[in-house]
Amino acid sequence: MRLVIAGGGTGGHLFPALAIARALKSEDPGAEVLFVGTKNGIEARIIPTTEFPIRFITARGMMKTGIINSILSAVEIPVGVLQSIFLLREFKPGCVLGVGGYASGPTVFAGRIMGIPTAIQEQNSVMGTTNQALTKIVDRIFISWQDTEPVTPSNRTILTGNPVRQEVLLSSREFPKQQDEFRLLIFGGSRGARSINQSIIDNVSSIAEFADRLRILHQTGRDAVEEVKSAYEEAGIQAEVKEFINDMGSAYHWADLIVCRSGAASLAEITALGKPAIVIPYPYAIGDHQARNAAVLEAIGAVRVVKDSNLMNGTLLKEIGKLIDNGELLAQMAENAKQAGRPYAAREIARELLNLERSPR
């Protein structure tokens, strides 16, 4: 099979796409996968370091405001469609999959024009703008949440869960533990989260009573490493503070409790591994999808939710303190998370794409 995967822009779109690409190669070792993205997205940096090729098109988001952006979108979207048509003619894929992000729309639309089977994969409980626009023209819609909005259930819609990278699922490292040691992983996405970092800086002394047994791994992003590190040192807490954690699989397996945003990729990884978490929805997410993602898992007791607006009053640290000494609740949260996890989502999507390519049109 030859598959084009279009989209990216952020890790939330790209990493599930990579999981699908690798699952397809496992199902069909002769498969060829081509990524299509933009030069400004994360895919331009990440894909060249993988085993997959990438091509770039011109694309711009439809949500951009202002007259200049509206004019540029009106010009660039047709250009992107034409570029995609030429690209698809050259590669001759059996299927085109859009994963959200700027490049997804023109490429999937071009595939539809050319009569190539098309599909989209939505990571969040609230569908992104590009995917919303494509729902009426694609052959398959892969969703990650039962109540994804605004999707009308049909025989084209398949609930798969959000794909998780194998390197996250299958970390082989062992982490021997000292008695009573409690391990806390904190991160706010690939670039960190300023409000989470500031909450730690301002309030970390409130969990200093656990310093003798608490071990923390904290991904801050570029600008807060030294300040966060100093805050932990002043509180007497042993912490490893990093700009970026390269091996997230090992970090997840190491942790007893996770603190993070409620992006779809993070929640998919947490549930696939059965890890308890405190999540802080990003308040400016489009359609407030992070809050909705979090609410689904909070309702089944898999996560605790802290509002971003409550970070500065110490609520996050209070929640951490409550959970450190409540092993029974942590175990129940972990079990609830595992029940919600779908670790084989990538494989399911890969198999559906193979079936889609073979099905009569």
What is the CATH number for 291?
Answer: 3.40.50.2000
Quick check: pTM over 0.85? yes
Domains: count for the chain: 2
334 and 348 in a single domain? The answer is no
- In a shared domain, residues 206 and 331: yes
Tokens at 178, concatenated: 């000292």
Residue 133 is encoded by which pair of tokens? 């626009």
Beta bridge partners of 216: 184, 239
Q: Are residues 149 and 175 in the same domain?
A: no
Looking at the fold, whether 331 and 350 belong to one and the same domain comes out as: no
132 annotated binding-site participant? no
Mean pLDDT along residues 272-295: 94
What is the reported pLDDT for 317? 97
Q: Quote the radius of gyration of the chain (alpha carbons, Å).
A: 21
Higher pLDDT, 190 or 151: 151
Q: Rounding to the nearest 10 degrees, give the CA dihedral for residues 281, 285, 288, 289.
A: -80
- Same domain membership, residue 154 and residue 180: no
pLDDT at 361 over 60: yes
Q: What is the pLDDT of residues 160-172, one digit of tens each?
A: 999 998 889 887 6
Which letter does DSSP use for residue 276 in this model?
Answer: -
List the alpha helices (DSSP H) in 154-288.
166-169, 194-203, 225-235, 248-254, 264-273
Give the structural domain span for 25.
2-164+343-358
- CA proximity to 11, closest of 192, 228, 222: 192
* pLDDT bracket for residue 59 (50, 70, 90): confident
Segment 64-83 mean pLDDT: 71
pLDDT at 62 over 60: no
> Confidence band (pLDDT; 50, 70, 90) for 104?
very high
Q: What pLDDT sits at residue 69?
A: 56
10 is in an annotated binding site: yes
Length of the chain: 361
Residues 192 and 264 in one domain: yes
Higher-confidence residue of 138 and 361: namely: 138
Report whether pLDDT(2) > 60.
yes
Average pLDDT for 55-79: 70
Q: pLDDT at residue 66 above 60? A: no
By DSSP bridging, strand 118-122 and strand 32-37 are unpaired
Q: Within this chain, do residues 44 and 100 fall inside the same structural domain, yes or no?
A: yes
CA dist 59 and 81 (Å) reads 9
Question: Is residue 286 annotated as involved in ligand binding?
Answer: no
Query: Do 139 and 173 have their domain in common?
Result: no
Burial, 30: exposed, middle or buried (Cβ in 10 Å; 0-12, 13-18, 19+)? exposed
Q: How confident is the model at residue 67 (pLDDT cuts 50, 70, 90)?
A: low
DSSP string across 88-145:
HHHH--SEEEE-SSTTHHHHHHHHHHTT--EEEEE-SSB--HHHHHHTTT-SEEEESS
Name the residue type at position 93: P
Check the annotation: does 178 bind a ligand: no
The reply to whether 11 sits in an annotated binding site is: yes
Confidence of residue 276 (pLDDT cuts 50, 70, 90): very high
198 and 324 co-located in one domain? yes
Question: Mean pLDDT across the chain, nearest whole number?
Answer: 92
**Claim to verify: residue 32 and residue 142 sit in the same structural domain:** yes
Q: Is there a binding annotation on residue 41?
A: no
Q: pLDDT category, 120, cuts 50, 70, 90?
A: very high
pLDDT tops 90 at residue 153: no
Does 64 have pLDDT greater than 70? Answer: no
Question: Same domain for 153 and 291?
Answer: no
Q: Is 245 annotated as a binding residue?
A: yes
Digit-coded pLDDT (tens) for 6-34 = 999 988 899 999 999 999 999 999 999 99
User: 249 and 275 in one domain?
Assistant: yes
